[in-house]
Each structure stands twice: as C-alpha cells, then as structure tokens.
Amino acid sequence: MVMAGEAKELIDKISLAAQRMSELIRDVLNFSKVLDTNVFEQVDLNVIMKNVSKDFEMLIGQKKAVITQDKLPVIAAVPLQMNQLFYNLPGNAIKFSRPDVPPVIHISFRKLTSGDVQAHPALNNAIHYCEIIFSDHGIGINEIFMEQIFQIFHRLNASERFEGTGIGLALCNMYFYL
C-alpha cells in the first residue's frame, strides 16, 4: 500500500521525467528544423540579440548577469540558425556561471582576413566572412572535452547540477558545417 507522502513523491518523479522528456522532444525538433533549413536571408544580429535578451530578462535578473555587445553586423544567414545560436551560447554562459559570481557576457565580431578564410578549406574564398565571438567568465571547459561538447546528447555535467538535454551546443556546431 502506498502512503500519501510516497504517492506525492512518485507523482513528483513522474512529473519531472515528463518535463525532461518534453524538453528533449522540443530540442530534437529544433535540431531537425536546423538541418532542414538552408534559405539564406539578410539577418541583423543586433535584432536577434535584442530578442534573445528579452527572452532571458528574468534569468538575467535572477543571476545579475551583464550582457554587453559591440554593434553586430547584418549578415547573409539562415535566420532560424542564428536565432538558435544566439539563444544557446548566451544561455549556456548564464547557466554555466560560477556560483555567487554574476555572469558577464560580451558579444563581438571581427571580419575574417583572406588568410583566415584560406586556413579553412571548407570556406569559399570569394565570400566575405565574419567571426562572432561570445566571451564569458563562466566555469570553463577543459580543452580535452572541446570536441565532445559539440556531439549531440553529450553532457559534461550531471543533469542534477545543470539542466539541459545535450543538444544545444550540437545545434551551435551545425552552423559551421552547413
């Protein structure tokens, strides 16, 4: 016979498992959308960052995060992919911040030189590229795990310590290879 306290505990566990499954399904759907989308448009990264900042307003306030940015360019890109990128990277910087240290995140960019472009054989020399730089002072990533963190469903931290499904950085990695 299940006691009232035990029943509540079981319901809480089931509810938490259902919530995690829902997050996983949402993230897998986002992953598949990114794979299917390849229509390039003019994308103002300042507008995307403004919208992302609005979405994170409550979390930014709770963590006392500071997000600054240089004036970002308008680029030819897939809007959905840029939204995902600008959502995941600052989101991770806030999530993986040090305890009791307000996150400080800065977004900047630089135009790649022809030498930079030539150093990456997958890039087309006839196209101008820019590098978008997200910097923060969070918990960091050990260099030996740098490749692993971009694999889908791969997590470096226990789910009890940090929420997530292990899809966010895999989505971000996609943008460099589409």
* Residues 55, 62, 16, 34, CA torsion sign: positive
Look up the pTM and report it.
0.64
pLDDT band for 14, please (50, 70, 90 cuts): confident
pLDDT band for 177, please (50, 70, 90 cuts): very low
Decide if 105 contacts 136 (C-beta within 8 A).
yes
Q: Which residue has the higher pLDDT, 107 or 123?
A: 107
In the predicted model, what is the mean pLDDT of the chain? 76
Domains delineated in the chain: 4-174 (3.30.565.10)
C-alpha to C-alpha distances, 26 to 33, 65, 135, 164, nearest whole angstrom? 11, 26, 27, 11
Q: Each residue of 43-65: pLDDT tens digit?
A: 999 999 999 999 889 889 998 99
* d(C-alpha 120, C-alpha 16), whole Å: 44
